[in-house]
Amino acid sequence: MSTTPATAVPFFPPALFEADRAELIALVREVGLDPEQRFILGARTAAFEELLRADLGAADVVACSSGTSALSLVLRAMDVGPGDEVIVPAFGCAPLASSVVAVGAVPVFADIRPDSMTMDPDDAERLVTERTRAVMPAHMFSVMADMPRFTELARRHGLRLLEDSAVAQGGVLRGVPAGLWGEAGVYSFVQVKTGGMPGEGGAVITRDPALGERVRMLRNHGQRPGRRFVHHTLGVNSRFDEIQAAFQTHRYAGFPARLARRAEIAAYYTERFTPLAGRGVTPPPPDRDGRCHYVYTVLADAREALAVHLAAHGVASHVYYPSPLPAHPAFTSYAPSGARWPVAEEAARRHLSLPVHHLLTDVQVRQVADLVCAFATALG
Give the mean pLDDT of 119-125. Answer: 98
pLDDT at 234 over 90: no
Q: Under a CB-based contact definition with an 8 Å cutoff, are residues 144 and 133 in contact?
A: no
pLDDT at 284 over 90: yes
Write out the DSSP string of 287-343.
Answer: --TTB--SSEEEEETTHHHHHHHHHHTTB--B---SS-GGGSTTTGGGSPTT---HH
Strand-pair partners of 353: 297, 318
Please give the share of the chain, as a percent, with pLDDT higher than 70: 98
pLDDT at 2 over 50: no
pLDDT grade, residue 240 (50/70/90)? very high
pLDDT digits (tens, 9 = 90+) for 21-61: 999 999 999 999 998 888 999 999 999 999 999 999 999 99
Distance CA 104, CA 174 (A): 35
Give the mean pLDDT of 175-198. Answer: 94
pLDDT at 338 over 60: yes
Half-sphere exposure of 103 (CA within 13 A, CB side): 32
pLDDT grade, residue 380 (50/70/90)? low
Give the mean pLDDT of 98-102. Answer: 97
Distance CA 273, CA 372 (A): 8
Residues 6+ apart with CB under 8 A from 158: none
Which of 110-114, 230-234, 259-263, 326-330 is the least confident region? 230-234
pTM: 0.93
pLDDT number for residue 143: 96
Q: Under a CB-based contact definition with an 8 Å cutoff, are residues 349 and 336 in contact?
A: no
pLDDT number for residue 230: 78
Determine the 3-state secondary structure of 207 from DSSP: coil
How far out from the chain centre does Cα 45 lie?
A: 21
Distance CA 281, CA 153 (A): 33
Residues marked active site are found at: 193
pLDDT number for residue 7: 57
pLDDT at 5 over 60: no
Domains in the chain: ranges and CATH: 20-253 (3.40.640.10), 254-379 (3.90.1150.10)
176: alpha, beta or left, given left = phi > 0 and alpha = psi -120 to 50?
A: beta
